[in-house]
Chain A
Amino acid sequence: MSEPRQFSDEELTAYLDGEDALALRETIERSLAQDETLRARLDALTLDTARIRTGFAELLSNAPQAPEFNCDRVAPSPMRRFQTTWRHAAAAAVLALFVGFGGGALLTGPAEPGWRDYVASYHALYATVTLSGVGQTTADAAAELERVSAAIEKPISLSDVSMPDRLDYKRAQILSFEGRPLVQLAFLTKQGTPVALCIIEASEPGDGAVQTTRLEGMSAAYWSKGGHAFVVIGGDDDAFIGQLAAVYSERL
């Protein structure tokens, strides 16, 4: 029988973390079956990482208000110029970085336009590659839609959002705006342009017709219906986005 292999704490840690390429999983597992000392060493490194995740997740909600980078859109009255003691303070003036004081002052004001701007800022980060790798089975997509529908109390089925001649449906996720759930459904056009349909429960019920606009340089259309507000956004083809909005405003 060969000499038992010795493992470093680093190798055992990589094994516990599932970094298999580094950890020689099979060798470790074979040794664990025979080596009591190794089992004790592994126990001493075993950790409830879910608890770490939970603890750190709680910290996120305690982060201060984010600086506002798009000051041309937001009334400056509730804000104060960011005064930094840091030596690059001059940059603050050039870049017009503002910080909101008074707990969410930046996000208040006209609530509905606010959420559309945030949706646009978020969508601006989407590239084709953000979504091109996403592939779901029909059953998974339907289950995901059911989950996000529940968050905004609005039934949305796969057939509601499918537009196979124009868009490939990719995924749905629940975001949050001022503590309210915001559902984002993401698509790629046949040309690979990311498009999003976003839905939030309106602060005041009421129906509003489809209107087209430009947000962050992208084509967008918005409307409200039956207690929910909607935005479709993506690319720079205003007519195309207008057509999508017309279809979705009928279906949803």
Chain B
Amino acid sequence: MTADTDASDAVKHGLTPLFPKLWRYCLVLTGARERADELAQATCLRALEKADLFTLGTELDRWVFRIAQRLWLNDLRTQSVRHGEGLAPIEEIDFPEKQGDPESNFSARETLSAVMALPEAQRLTVLLVYAEGRSYREAAEILEIPIGAVMSRLAAARGKLADMINARSETK
């Protein structure tokens, strides 16, 4: 088996278990469920096309997230704007209704809404560092930005989120 075939197999077999995380990444990137569905699928196609470029032994999710981001920035976002759809109005996102403790779910959903109200660049950094627990360096690699930019995005996000989230928890 050649290295290319191995890489292709790794991508082919890795995309299915990775898909929920990819879709979530796309949701945060695009800010809208429908666009997230489209981008996640387009990303899978592109990843399969380019599978021989995947380096075995590296994390597939980082590689796939970068593909999603490039597709969105270079192509799909432009199309969305051109077609008059605008950029990710937060109201479009239909957050999941979960069964269980309504108090705790409300809180988690509110937090999610607050994050999604941030600018695209900040919410993506928040996802990678706070939801996925990645280091600054890993987030910088995925987002293809300097580590200083990760820090400034998080600092800005923290300032805004702390106001919103902490204020709400105090009132409960």
Interface residues in chain A, defined as those with a beta carbon under 8 Å from any beta carbon in chain B: 8-14, 16-17, 19, 22, 44-49, 51-64, 66-70, 82, 84-88, 91-92, 95, 97, 99, 118, 120-122, 124-125, 127, 129, 216-217
Contact = CB atoms under 8 A, between A and B. Distances in A.
B158 interface: yes
Interface centre among A64, A84, A120 (most CB of B within 10 A): A64
Contact of A59 (B17, B57, B112): B112
A58 B162 contact: no
A137 B162 CA distance: 40
A48 B130 CA distance: 10
B169 A60 contact: no
A122 B108 contact: no
Nearest to A70: B12
B154 A17 contact: yes
Contacts, number: 176
Contact of B76 (A58, A86, A122): A86
Given A51-B165, A59-B112, A125-B14, A66 B20 contact: yes
Contacts of B148: 10
B155 A51 contact: no
A84 B41 contact: yes
B21 A47 contact: no
Contacts of B9: 124, 216-217
B4 to A, nearest CB: 15
A17 B108 CA distance: 20
B39 to A, nearest CB: 9
A69 B76 contact: no
16 contacts: A12-B155, A47-B165, A53-B130, A53-B131, A53-B133, A59-B96, A59-B112, A69-B12, A70-B12, A70-B13, A86-B38, A86-B41, A88-B42, A122-B13, A124-B14, A127-B56
B37 A64 contact: yes
A91 B158 CA distance: 41
Interface string B20-56: 1101100100000000011011101110110000001
Interface of B: 1, 9-10, 12-17, 19-21, 23-24, 27, 37-38, 40-42, 44-46, 48-49, 56-57, 60, 75-76, 95-96, 98, 104-105, 107-109, 111-112, 115, 126-127, 129-133, 135-136, 147-148, 151-152, 154-156, 158-159, 161-163, 165-166, 169
A95 B11 CA distance: 13
B155 A10 contact: yes
Given A60-B20, A88-B46, A124 B115 contact: no
A196 to B, nearest CB: 14
Contacts of B166: 46-48
Interface centre among A82, A97, A125 (most CB of B within 10 A): A125
A67 B13 CA distance: 11
A97 B48 contact: yes
Given A14-B136, A58-B112, A127-B56, 15 more contacts: A10-B152, A16-B158, A46-B162, A49-B130, A56-B131, A60-B20, A84-B42, A92-B45, A95-B48, A95-B49, A97-B45, A121-B14, A124-B10, A124-B14, A217-B9
B136 A127 contact: no
A44 B163 CA distance: 7
Interface centre among B40, B152, B155, B165 (most CB of A within 10 A): B155
Contacts of B105: 58
